[in-house]
Amino acid sequence: MKQVLPFFITITLASWTLAQDVIELSFWTEWSADPTRTIGETLIAKFNEEHPNIRVTHRPIENEQFFTVLRTGFTSGEPPDVFQHEANNNLLQFVVPGEVEDISDWYAANGDRFQPGTDAAISYDGKQYGVPTGIATGTQIYYNAALLEENGIDPKALQTWDDYLAAFEKLKAAGVTPIAYANKFGWPGSQWFYAFLTRWVGAEKVNQLVARNCGYAWTDPDIVEAAQLYVDLADKGYFSSGMASDDYPQATAIFFAGRAAFFHTGSWFIGETAADMPEGFALGMNRFPDIEGGKGNTDTFMAVLGGYAISKKGAEDPAKREAALTFIDWMTQVPQAQEFVKGAGSMSTVEGAVTPEVADPLVLQIIEEQINGNTGAVGFLEHVTPKAVGEDAIWMGSVGVLRGQLTAQTWMESVEEAAAAEAPTLVLEPACE
């Protein structure tokens, strides 16, 4: 025993020392639902196994609450070490106050692994503050092909918005709910409005509008007309009955239960179908159509870039900064990126990750119809406008419309009021029409 004890103590102390050398990283994401959560946590577990000196702890947060929770983390002084971001304003709200680590050094050496041009949305003042991992689009209309066939509607013949309105009316007359819709948190309503906006006034005016350029205002008659197109869907009874009270998973359930023919949402829905879609469900997809008389076209798409970033606080310790970069580097290699492509229907920005062998056919359809050869792109409203505009006025205004509390005119007046408070001066540029 006298000989064994010192050996035991030596081993114990050595183990204790090694444990102290492990660098702990907190990682916050929107991966709250399958299949994305399972894929992400499987990859994190694999990373931890391959890097015994680093331990990543994952905190999944529901989509609707993610940026609220993230803001609270930063304001309280307890941000995550690494976090998922949605580019443009959603990332810059933390970059501008100096709360995000500059990773220009890493990006200079590794940025060529990402698709060209994707760095712009995660840069500020000539520096890189994150990595781009995926792109999502919001200009799709999904449909139940079998339900449409039962009602004599050919989805491929739906080329214009008038075609869709005729189909909605035919379905309603047959006792079928045209559109599965749930807007409790406001962001689905924002997507409807933004789709109408880009098709009605065109991408150029939309981008100038959100930038407060050219003297454009949210109360311009054509902007109000775009809002009215959304209001009309509710007024005509084309949305499912819980439109203002149900949440997104409830709308998904309505659609997959065959109780509604159409569902308008983003490309992320493709991944969600793996977990929720019944076997044999005849899912189809069209891009959002042209609107007669509109200045936009179907070659413009609405998109958001997502990725990973490191908090400034998380990088205060050089060893922790290096560990965070190691984690980001590993997660953005082709094999890891392809796991999200295969399992979650993601459109990865990692070069070589999206191939016909691993990508869902609907993902390839989006790339072919919307991304390749596009004539313009616009960001999601909440990503290109201040929170008071995108989330508070537009999101929640889209709910107020459904509840009869706002008209198209008063909704846009509230948006303009918020936009003017954030940036009072409209910029008049000679190049603007």
pLDDT per position as a tens digit, 158-192: 999 999 999 999 999 999 999 999 999 999 999 99
> What's the confidence (pLDDT) of residue 433?
65
Domain boundary among 340, 356, 371: 371
If asked whether residues 127 and 147 sit together in one domain, one would say no
- Name the residue type at position 327: F
H or E element in which residue 310 lies = strand 300-310
If asked whether residues 123 and 266 sit together in one domain, one would say no
Confirm whether 213 is domain-assigned: yes
**Structural domains in the chain (count):** 2
If asked whether residues 343 and 363 sit together in one domain, one would say yes
If asked whether residues 66 and 192 sit together in one domain, one would say no
* pTM, to two decimals: 0.81
3-class DSSP assignment, residue 29: strand
Confirm whether 14 is domain-assigned: no
If asked whether residues 218 and 320 sit together in one domain, one would say no
Q: Are 137 and 303 in contact (CB under 8 A)?
A: yes
> What's the confidence (pLDDT) of residue 384?
83
If asked whether residues 202 and 83 sit together in one domain, one would say no
Q: Are 189 and 315 in contact (CB under 8 A)?
A: no
If asked whether residues 187 and 218 sit together in one domain, one would say yes
Q: Are 140 and 285 in contact (CB under 8 A)?
A: yes
Domain range for 173: 140-299+375-422
Confirm whether 427 is domain-assigned: no
> What's the confidence (pLDDT) of residue 15?
42
CATH of the domain at 414: 3.40.190.10
Dihedral sign of CA atoms 236, 238, 242, 245 in order = negative
Structural Rg of the chain based on CA atoms: 24
If asked whether residues 150 and 248 sit together in one domain, one would say yes
Confirm whether 249 is domain-assigned: yes
> What's the confidence (pLDDT) of residue 426?
67
If asked whether residues 238 and 361 sit together in one domain, one would say no
At 158, list the tokens. 């739906």
If asked whether residues 150 and 277 sit together in one domain, one would say yes
- How many CB atoms are closer than 10 A to CB 55? 15
Confirm whether 78 is domain-assigned: yes
Q: What is the DSSP string of 204-221?
A: HHHHHHHTTBTT--TTSH
| Cross-strand partners of 290 | 160
If asked whether residues 249 and 387 sit together in one domain, one would say yes
At 427, list the tokens. 């910029």
Confirm whether 9 is domain-assigned: no
Which residues of the chain fall below pLDDT 50? 1-19
> What's the confidence (pLDDT) of residue 12?
42
pLDDT per position as a tens digit, 316-330: 999 999 999 999 999
Cβ-based burial of 123 (10 A; exposed 0-12, middle 13-18, buried ≥19): middle
Confirm whether 4 is domain-assigned: no
Distance of CA 34 to the CA centre of its chain: 16
- How many CB atoms are closer than 10 A to CB 352? 11
Confirm whether 202 is domain-assigned: yes
At 142, list the tokens. 């999904």
> What's the confidence (pLDDT) of residue 344?
87
> What's the confidence (pLDDT) of residue 16?
40
- Calculated CA dihedral for residues 215, 408, 402, 205, nearest 10 degrees: -30
**Among 60, 61, 57, 53, residue whose Cα is nearest residue 45:** 57
At 263, list the tokens. 């569902």
At 268, list the tokens. 């992320």
Q: Are 119 and 293 in contact (CB under 8 A)?
A: no
If asked whether residues 190 and 259 sit together in one domain, one would say yes
Distance from C-alpha of 107 to C-alpha of 88, rounded to nearest angstrom:
17
Dihedral sign of CA atoms 25, 321, 72, 31 in order = negative
> What's the confidence (pLDDT) of residue 423?
80
Q: Are 433 and 232 in contact (CB under 8 A)?
A: no
